Structure 1
Amino acid sequence: MLGSAFSQFKNIYNQKSLINQFTRREISNRYKGSYLGIVWSFITPLIMLVIYTFVFSVVFQAKWGAGENTSKVEFALLLLSGLLVFNIFSEVLSKSPTLITSNPNYVKKVVFPLEILPIVTLGSALFQALISYVILVSALFLLMGVFNWTALLFPLVLIPLVLFTVGLSWFISSLGVYIRDIGQIINLALPALMFMSPIFYPISVIPKEFHFIYQINPISYVVEDARRTIIWGELPSWDWMVYGTIIGVVFAAFGYIWFKKTRKGFADVL
């Protein structure tokens, strides 16, 4: 079964020109008709960063770790690095339940490769992440005078997350055709997952009896590696890179198998 899935991945690769075309359209449609256009891709993360930083470091007087003297600038950069990772996952998963139901015309076209739709959504999310990454690296250099060469390893850090996310997206987008309530469930789960991930705080401040929650959360490892490579100039956890990639491949394979198996009933339901 897995072998069949891997052979089918070649078909997805052969659709790379179509994926590229749809991804470009997805990005352009995001700000279609607005006066500032793609500039909003830079403005939005900056505004959200200011809001989160004000709330957590000014209103709640939050510090990064117990007893650590973290400046508001450093706190903001640590926050942005975590949000950068989580937003990739969040953007794709929030759109997944309606990916198929909002494109019934593609379902009726037997030759159209529906399996590329989650990849297109992921591509759009990665484009936004690239902009946030540029903002983060630039701010780190301009405000703190630091540029770590390990920041160039950040794309490698995202590999497990990309595989895990696209696998879940295939599963959820298919499930959303048959169970419309899945969208409401995802909308509840994503905010909970955001606060249960080490985005606004380090894992070191969590009581040890709750560490297992973060150990089974793959986003935690990616967030931590993002901070290691970009902010602190350290190498990522190579053990996690290996294990995480294997887990991601398994999720992607099973998600794709599920999607292909259930696709046969899409037209009947829609």
Structure 2
Amino acid sequence: MFNSVRQVIKEQIEHRDLILRMSIFEVKGMYQLHYLGSMWQFINPIIQISIYWFVFGLGIRGGQPVSTSVGDIPFFLWMLMGLIPWFFINPSIIQGSNSVYQRINVVSKMKFPVSLLPTIKITSNSFQFFILMVLLLIVLMIYGFFPTIYMIQLIYYIVCMFAFLFAFTLLSSTIATLVRDYQSLLQSLVRMVLYLSPILWNPAAAGVPEWFTNILKLNPVFYIIEGFRDSFLARQWFFEDPVYLCYFWSLTLTLLIIGSRVHLKFRKNFMDYL
């Protein structure tokens, strides 16, 4: 059962240098015809953050802070802690799922492990993510939220995020190549996930019933976003909720097993579906 998983992971490890080189090349090529170049990686998030803060922070909430278990948090900070991971998760899912279909014509003519294509997309998006994380830490300290011992578990939640994205995009990129309608459906569902995750609103403060919150927690993005906030706000350790931890990793492992088997089964015939 794990042979396919072992093979796919082995391909990532053996070609890690190629993944990094192609990711850097992709980032450079994306903005080479723009006057501001790679600065657009930060201009776009700033524009989106400004819009969300204006609409949800000032418009809907009237500038009120968010009530949490560790006290009131300025909405701007609370929102940043959710949006910055989302700015990485969202394009990684969409682009990673479409990566095989986009490049299969090229890579089919050479000896190239197709399983690298989603990973390249994830890696290329991670450069922006890590820079924004550093900027977020600076903003938090400006507001008086200094690093604590809980920040160590950011490493754990970053691993969670990368593991889930790899497992999901490996399966999703195969489906999107076989059934093109899937990509359009996925884009709509990902937009929905933004509002079903605690990125722009707090289910606890909104008075959402516990049973409905438990349904929302089935979304793995919920686990990741709340994990980042737990780390920044020193709310709790990741092992304090073992049930949710086991659920997340069980789901991720299941996606990885299914994705690996489906990918290896169909990748020799991808050209037949184009």
State if a TM-score over 0.5 links the two structures.
Answer: yes
The question of 1:254 aligning with 2:254 is answered no
- 1:210 CA drift (Å): 0.9
Task: Look up the match of 1:214.
Answer: 216
- 1:75 CA drift (Å): 0.8
Q: 1:53 to 1:122 in 2, by over 3 A?
A: same
Q: 1:209 to 1:167 in 2, by over 3 A?
A: same
Q: Secondary structure at the match of 2:55?
A: helix
The question of 1:223 aligning with 2:222 is answered no
Q: Could you tell me whether the CA contact under 8 Å between 2:11 and 2:115 is conserved in 1?
A: no
What is the percent sequence identity of the aligned residues? 24
Q: Which moved more, 1:234-243 or 1:201-210?
A: 234-243
Task: Look up the match of 1:86.
Answer: 86
Q: Could you tell me whether the CA contact under 8 Å between 1:12 and 1:116 is conserved in 2?
A: yes
Q: 1:107 to 1:41 in 2, by over 3 A?
A: closer
- 2-structure distance, mates of 1:147, 1:183: 41
Q: 1:91 to 1:134 in 2, by over 3 A?
A: same
- Relative to the length of structure 2, the TM-score reads 0.87
- 1:38-95 residue CA offsets vs partner (Å, 9 max, x unmatched): 22223322222121111112111264249x9957xx2111111111222322112212
The question of 1:184 aligning with 2:170 is answered no
Task: Look up the match of 1:266.
Answer: 270
The question of 1:53 aligning with 2:53 is answered yes
Q: Which moved more, 1:250-259 or 1:10-19?
A: 250-259
Q: Could you tell me whether the CA contact under 8 Å between 1:2 and 1:254 is conserved in 2?
A: no
- 1:172 CA drift (Å): 1.5
Q: Secondary structure at the match of 1:38?
A: helix
Q: Could you tell me whether the CA contact under 8 Å between 1:22 and 1:120 is conserved in 2?
A: yes
Q: Could you tell me whether the CA contact under 8 Å between 1:118 and 1:166 is conserved in 2?
A: yes
Q: 1:133 to 1:177 in 2, by over 3 A?
A: same
Task: Look up the match of 1:147.
Answer: 146
**Unmatched 5+ stretches in structure 2:** none
Task: Look up the match of 2:238.
Answer: 237
| Structural mapping, 1:34-113, within 5 Å | 34-61=34-61, 63=64, 64-65=66-67, 70=72, 74-113=74-113
- Relative to the length of structure 1, the TM-score reads 0.89
Q: CA RMSD in A?
A: 2.3
Task: Look up the match of 1:114.
Answer: 114
In structure 2, give the amino acid aligned to 1:90.
Answer: N
- 1:80-129 residue CA offsets vs partner (Å, 9 max, x unmatched): 11112223221122123431222133342251111101001111222221
Q: 1:21 to 1:219 in 2, by over 3 A?
A: same
Q: Could you tell me whether the CA contact under 8 Å between 1:176 and 1:183 is conserved in 2?
A: yes
In structure 1, give the amino acid aligned to 2:10.
Answer: K
Q: Which moved more, 1:146-155 or 1:20-29?
A: 146-155
Q: Could you tell me whether the CA contact under 8 Å between 2:170 and 2:263 is conserved in 1?
A: yes
Q: How many residues align?
A: 265
Q: 1:41 to 1:183 in 2, by over 3 A?
A: same
Q: Which moved more, 1:251-260 or 1:20-29?
A: 251-260
Q: 1:7 to 1:96 in 2, by over 3 A?
A: closer
**Unmatched 5+ stretches in structure 1:** none
Q: Could you tell me whether the CA contact under 8 Å between 2:81 and 2:229 is conserved in 1?
A: yes
In structure 2, give the amino acid aligned to 1:260.
Answer: L
